[in-house]
Structure 1
């Protein structure tokens, strides 16, 4: 099967799933689980407005639906509505204060807004709750780097690589953190590993690192 055929198959599969879920929702409008999954599939199919409507309705029907809040928050974040994204993730945390994913999402929103100190607090809370959550370590690395806390960035990046040695992003983040911590040889090794794993390294970073290595 060619790549085009695979993509066509995916579209066909999504269409079938959407049709099945729409039928369930039509027959049982208060079926929270069906609406939640329909929202997720709509998003996957690129039908963002439909996804928003279903997830908003899911939360209206069940104000404890944390997964719907998290997923809807992600959509609003992608659309640039950080206020609504923040509101939804905070709503999820109000239900479950130890939901590490929500802490990460709030950290990402804070970091996007330039509120780096607050972002670090959110990511740090997330890794306290779930030390194996690699996205928290990756984002914490980035935030520490932005805040020029280079040694802490290296420590966070090493944690991410320890959890997933073959994560291209974790390897690249470690390379960048090592560069700013003046550990250029190890930075080069991790940059090359990131590329080997398929990461598209920023040419400006490569050039800057090569200049340091002479």
Structure 2
């Protein structure tokens, strides 16, 4: 009888110790909380490039020739299209344009009693552009191919008339600044030197066909 009592007492003590230990362990764990996964990291925001993309625009300006004979000068107007890439602050791309022009001049030579008239009827360029952008301001250099149509007329005392019409290829080089004043719009000011070399006319006169231009333009950039 005593032995059974001892076994029962030992079993009760063991159960009491076990219950107390489990309660203490549960108390250490604290109240039950369901698992909540951590929030996904937010994607880093990348601001859209001000300059990258295709664009189209219009331009107009003033040109003057290096010819010391007829000294042509006058206005022109046309359009351009191009594409830019932007990497950090550097912007590079290409641009093509075509302009109708009236860059003309007239001269009289009293020794030959000759009157000469020359005119640039139109010109076009295809150029690369490389620039540095600071926010909405872009400063760039540009160079490439130029093509222009020249028309020259020399009249000797009304007795003989020589007319030369020639489309020549040369080079264009210059630079400019462009300002993005709205998300899709920018305006620019640009200088170009267009080199075509000397030309000997059928009348015997030699003239220089190089000319220079300054112009302003308005561009619309597609998204």
TM-score (norm 2): 0.18
Which gives a bigger RCO, structure 1 or 2 (Cα 8 Å, sep 6+)? 2
Structure with the largest fraction of helix: 1
Structure with the largest fraction of strand: 2
**Bigger Rg over Cα:** 2
TM-score (norm 1): 0.18
